Each structure stands twice: as C-alpha cells, then as structure tokens.
Structure 1
Amino acid sequence: MHRTSTHVVLTGDRPTGSLHLGHYFGSLANRLVLQDLHPVFVLVADYQVITDRDRPGEIRRNVTDLVLDYLAVGLDPAKVTIFQHSAVPELNQLMLPFLSLVTVSELGRNPTVKDEIAHSSQAAVSGLMFTYSVHQAADILFCKATLVPVGKDQLPHLEVTRTIARRFNDRYGPVFPLPEAMLSDAPLVAGLDGGKMSKSRGNAIALKATEDETAALIRRAVTDSERLITYEPDRRPNVANLLSLAGLCLGRRPQEIAEEIGYGGAAALKRLVTEAVNEFCRPIRRRRRELGEGDALAVLREGNARAREVAVRTLDEVRDAMGYTIASRAAS
C-alpha cells in the first residue's frame, strides 16, 4: 500500500509477558489503523525490562511471545518495523548527548518516574530507572518520530523528549522534530478483579489463552449479588466492567447487553462475556497457532536491520551537528 504521510509513529511494549485484551483495545487496535496511514516503528523494549526489576524474567521467550502476538493480531512486518532495543546499540549512544541536555533536578521531578520508582520491584533505585525518560527520548528521536501514541500518564516522559529535542536543536542546529502525543480515546479495560488488567495480578485474559482458560478466568471475575444486570459504572463497577468487555468484543453498547441479560444474574452475564471474548479472540488464536518461533525471529532480523540503518543515519547527523564526525569515523 502506498502511503503519503508527513508523520512517523513510534510505539511499543516491554516484553514482560503475553499481551492481553487490555493491550488489544488500549493500543494494538490503534496500531492496526496506523500501519496503513504512516511509517510505524514498533519497539520491543527489552532493555527497559531491567529498569525497574532485579529479575527481568525469561526475556528471550517473552520477546518471541510478544512478536507472535503482534503478528497474530495483524501487525504486518511489510508495513511496520518491529525491532528490539538491544539489537540497536546506536539508541544507547544517543543517550549520552541527551543526558547532557537535562538536569538532575528535572529528572527527579518527573512524576511518571516518581510513580514507577514507587512501584518498582528493585531493592534500590538504579541509575537506569532514574534516567528512564531520557532512555525513552532516544527511542523516540532515533527515528525522528512525530507522533507517539501515549496515555496521559506518559505525557511527562514525552515532554522530556520534546525538551531534549528543542535543546539539542537550539545548541547544535536543527536535527530533531518535536514529537506530538497521540492521546488514546480507547476505553480502559479493567482486570477481572476490578483493578488494572495485568498478567502479574492474574486478572488478565491473554490473547493466546485457550477458550477453557478464558472461561475459568471469567468465572472467577468479581461481580455482586443483584439479579438484575444493569450498566452502572459508579454503583456497580465490576458488573459494568464485564459488560464493557463484552461490548468491545461484540461491537455493541454495554447498556444493550445489560437489557438483554435482564434478570439472568451474574451467571448469565459471565456466560455471555465468555462467549463474546472467545468468539472475538478465535481468529487471533488461530493465526497464532499457525506461527512459530522461526517466524518471530525472521521478523526481528529484518526489523532490527531496518531500524539500525535509521539509527546509524541519525547518530551520524548528531555527530556532525556536534562536531564529532571526523574523530568518530577515524576511530572506526
């Protein structure tokens, strides 16, 4: 498909486990639209896994699983560049000049970093955690992204990126665009216990889960004792969450689904949600079963090479602007 776009999009995920329905409706569905409109870089942020945890888990398997989820939902490697952070060393070389453009106090005031530090599983805050927002700036600016899909909680990180780009341009000359936030209007899909949907909390429905696993998870979902099913997010948040999930999968308003269930109670609600989720996920799961590790690795090899070509060009521009080109090329 021929695209005439003035924008470049950077998005991605940390490989910490299988993607779930919250990921799909929160970001993946939007990427399926964007891949037909703009050049899109999808970052598998494997280095970021070590920013806030002492034990990063099975990174290699998680990276493969993440790419397989991408392919199963319909991300097309012919349209998007899927790549690993650890395979593009130029990203980290960009961090050094970027760190010189922000102060310690500015990094410390970042509310998103404060929140991530508060929820970190590390015994102490690492330097990498403290410079997380600069890390992300390198991810965004290496490909000169102009649009970054984010939630409101990520806006402070993006503002650090914009600050770094502005200061670099002011000091060394125009190299980087100022990326804009693409705020998502996607609905928040809560977990089956009413909290944030997260695999680590055991309240998420993985895209690759079997139909039996999905049914078991939904059976354990928190509801209430009222027989009449109504959509009242403030008074009955857990029931409303299940209705919303069914609505997203069916493409229907949750109020209509509540009226359809009527006095069927929690059991009827859960049956309907189970059928809706399994029907929605069936083609995704079928495509995933047709893929193997070799498919994921082939996509990464191609994407890593493509991303690195872009990163090398950008790093050369940065060195030129800063006056380091002759020394760096002589060293190489």
Structure 2
Amino acid sequence: MARSAEIATDIATNGSRYRMLTGDRPTGNLHIGHYFGSLRNRVRLQGLGVESFVLIADYQVITDRDGVGPIRERVYSLLADYLAAGLDPQTCTIFTHSAVPGLNQLMLPFLAVVTDAELRRNPTVKSEWEATGERPLSGLLLTYPVHQAADILFCKANIVPVGKDQLPHLEQARVIARRFDERFGRARADAPVFPQPEALLSEAPSILGMDGTKMSKSRGNTIELGESADQTAKLIKRAVTDSDRHITYDPEQRPEVSNLVMLAALCLDRTPESIAEEIGDGGGGGLKKLVTAAVNDHFDGHRARRAELVADQGYLEEVLRAGNTRANEIADATLTEVRQAMQMVY
C-alpha cells in the first residue's frame, strides 16, 4: 500500500513515466459499478499523461463458459462506454485478445517458468473453479494467471490498477518476468526483457447491486451505463432498503440504505454523511427519489455520447482496428526481443 501511494503521488507530476494495462471481459454491458470502480479512474490517469492500454479480453470469456454468447455486440458495447466516458483513442490503445497473436504466443515461454501447483493455488483460479460447480478444470482456466501476465508484459506495462483481491495475479506476472530473465534473458546483461509491474491499488468504493448483494452482470442487479433515465428510475425504485424512515450512513448496520446514499454521494461529489443528513426522515422513498435524480443527471452526458457512438458502427470499428494495429506492433516487437533472448532467431 505504501508503494502504491508513492506511485500515485509521482503520477500526479510525472504521468508520462508510466504505462498502464487494464481491461474487462466482454461478458455483458458495463454498469455503474464498473464506472465508479475503474472506468472513471482510467480516464483520470489518461489525463495525467499515463500511457494507457485497455484490453477487451474476449479470449477470457471462455475460461469459465461453454460459449461466447453475443460477443461481438458486447465488445462494441464496451468500446462505446469507454469512449463515452472519455478514453481518447488517439492516446489510449484499446484492443482485443483475439486480434493480437503475438501477445498470446508469449504464453508458451511463460508457461515454461511456472508450475502446476502455483497455478492451482491462485485464489482467482480456485474461486472461478468453485463457481462452476467444481466441474473439470479447463486448461484455459488453470492458465488464466499466465494469460493475464502476457496481457501485462507484452506491452511492458509498469503499473496495473488492481484491487487487493487481484494482487496474486500481479505477483504471478512479476514472478514470470523475473524468472524469464533468470532463465533466458541473461544475454542482455543487466537489462531485463520485462519490467516487474507494480500495483496501483484502487480506493474505489464497492457499490452493491439493487438487491443488496454484490453488483454483478450475472445477478441481473445492475444499472447499466446504457440504461435510459426511465429504466434507471424503475431499477432504483425496486432497490432494497429497510423499515427505518430516518436515513443514516452506516455501511455495517444498514448496508442497503448506505449503498444508495453512497451512490448519490458519488454522483453529486459530496460526502455520504451530508446526503443522509439532507434526507433525514424522508425514508426510503425520499432516498430513492434523490438517488434517481443524481444518477440520471450524472450519466445524462454519457448516455447521449454513447448513443451517438453506437449509431456510428463504422467509427467504432475504425477505433478498434487502429487499437489492434498498435497492439500488434508492440506485441511483435516484444516477441522479437523474447526470441532473441531465447536464441530462437533463425
């Protein structure tokens, strides 16, 4: 945490020193949890001069699923939300796994420096496997941390925004970078092929779904960024609260009420305590009315920009094509360095 704080401070004045890798799986549409949890921060870091790579991880859709679903629609939905939120394709490289062969080819040498036991101990591998009902573990799910390492290292990202639960993935990428150099990269003397990426720990608030449980696309309890104002109002109206009419901000004792208070605070750039004090004895109805207005006002501009982007499919395709081209150029250059280190240039 201390090192992450140091990096955050340095980024504020020296953003151009950093290259960031982040991304999402196209398993559904982005929702307000994604926005406040990561998307808004990506735009902020871009504005500070951080060179940004944003991955639409289409190959990772099938780590724990039997099919890809409406993946094309979802890829362009993510892209539209990225651009509507403020990611600039002139400075931010947005790309997909399946369009960058060089990135995926890095998995071969990377798999040579990790063990089966290490992968099986990875918390995300274990939790994703348990979520499938503990059916036979696919090779892709088992090697999920290695694929994520390839995502990070192909572009030589030196920072990765993560939550604490994702630190094991980043540590695996650091281990792979170090072991690759120890085994293959010594021909480059003291210049390693890959940097060891560092964590930029997120302080983003955790927003619950409208049913009071974790906000998740699979649970159907989200407010998607593409929802209309009327749809948003209906979803908030159904949100879980409690019987106490006096509104307070108490996440431990009143998680559902406090979740709505926090959502309004984020949209209005205020403290949750001030929101709760304003509503007072207004009860759940007063709270939901304020939250609805706050959410709709905050995302009004995003929705308008998103609608324009979705209506221009040609532009979205052009942006993704340019991002894929840029990612391929970098992946190919990295792969050349890897081959040189492994003495596989013939």
Decide whether the 8 Å contact of 1:52 with 1:122 is kept in 2.
no
Decide whether the 8 Å contact of 1:148 with 1:179 is kept in 2.
yes
Decide whether the 8 Å contact of 2:209 with 2:222 is kept in 1.
yes
Provide the aligned C-alpha RMSD in A: 1.2
Q: Does 1:324 align with 2:335?
A: no
**Could you tell me how far apart the structure 2 residues matched to 1:122 and 1:47 are?**
21
Determine helix, strand or coil for the equivalent of 1:49: helix
Determine helix, strand or coil for the equivalent of 1:43: strand
Alignment match, 2:239:
221
Q: Does 1:237 align with 2:255?
A: yes
The alpha-carbon deviation at position 55 of structure 1 amounts to 2.4
The alpha-carbon deviation at position 79 of structure 1 amounts to 1.3
The alpha-carbon deviation at position 282 of structure 1 amounts to 0.1
Decide whether the 8 Å contact of 1:152 with 1:183 is kept in 2.
yes
Alignment match, 1:152:
164
Q: Does 1:14 align with 2:25?
A: yes
Alignment match, 1:63:
75
Alignment match, 1:77:
89
Q: CA 1:293–1:124 in structure 2 vs 1: closer, same or farther (change >3 Å)?
A: farther
Decide whether the 8 Å contact of 2:158 with 2:195 is kept in 1.
yes
Deviation by residue 1:264-296 (Cα, 9 ceiling, x = unmatched): 111111010000000001000010111132222
Q: Does 1:42 align with 2:60?
A: no
Deviation by residue 1:31-90 (Cα, 9 ceiling, x = unmatched): 011112211100000000000111221111110111011011111101100001100011
Decide whether the 8 Å contact of 1:246 with 1:254 is kept in 2.
yes
Give the residue type in structure 2 aligned to 1:295: Y
Name the count of aligned residue pairs.
324
Alignment match, 2:111:
99
Deviation by residue 1:165-214 (Cα, 9 ceiling, x = unmatched): 00011112220000001110111111111211112212111111001110
**Could you tell me how far apart the structure 2 residues matched to 1:205 and 1:227 are?**
24
Q: Which range moved further: 48-57 or 240-249?
A: 48-57
The alpha-carbon deviation at position 122 of structure 1 amounts to 8.2
Deviation by residue 1:2-40 (Cα, 9 ceiling, x = unmatched): x87222100000011111110011001110111122111
Give the residue type in structure 1 aligned to 2:334: T
**Could you tell me how far apart the structure 1 residues matched to 2:236 and 2:303 are?**
18
**Could you tell me how far apart the structure 2 residues matched to 1:324 and 1:96 are?**
13
Contiguous gaps of at least 5 residues in structure 2: 1-13, 186-191
Alignment match, 2:38:
27
Give the residue type in structure 2 aligned to 1:114: K
Decide whether the 8 Å contact of 1:192 with 1:221 is kept in 2.
yes
Decide whether the 8 Å contact of 1:21 with 1:204 is kept in 2.
yes
Decide whether the 8 Å contact of 2:129 with 2:135 is kept in 1.
no
Q: Does 1:210 align with 2:224?
A: no
Identity %: 63
**Could you tell me how far apart the structure 1 residues matched to 2:223 and 2:136 are?**
32
Q: Which range moved further: 116-125 or 42-51?
A: 116-125
**Could you tell me how far apart the structure 2 residues matched to 1:72 and 1:120 are?**
34
Determine helix, strand or coil for the equivalent of 2:236: helix
The alpha-carbon deviation at position 120 of structure 1 amounts to 3.1
**Could you tell me how far apart the structure 2 residues matched to 1:271 and 1:8 are?**
41
The alpha-carbon deviation at position 119 of structure 1 amounts to 1.5
Determine helix, strand or coil for the equivalent of 1:182: strand
**Could you tell me how far apart the structure 1 residues matched to 2:174 and 2:243 are?**
50
Decide whether the 8 Å contact of 1:11 with 1:42 is kept in 2.
yes
Decide whether the 8 Å contact of 2:32 with 2:222 is kept in 1.
yes
Aligned counterpart in structure 1 of residue 194 of structure 2, from 176, 179, 182: 176
Deviation by residue 1:236-261 (Cα, 9 ceiling, x = unmatched): 11000000000000001111111111
**Could you tell me how far apart the structure 1 residues matched to 2:133 and 2:150 are?**
24
Determine helix, strand or coil for the equivalent of 2:16: coil
**Could you tell me how far apart the structure 1 residues matched to 2:316 and 2:325 are?**
14
Equivalences for 1:117-128 in 2 at 5 Å? 117-120=129-132, 123-128=135-140
Report the TM-score, using the length of structure 1 for normalisation: 0.95
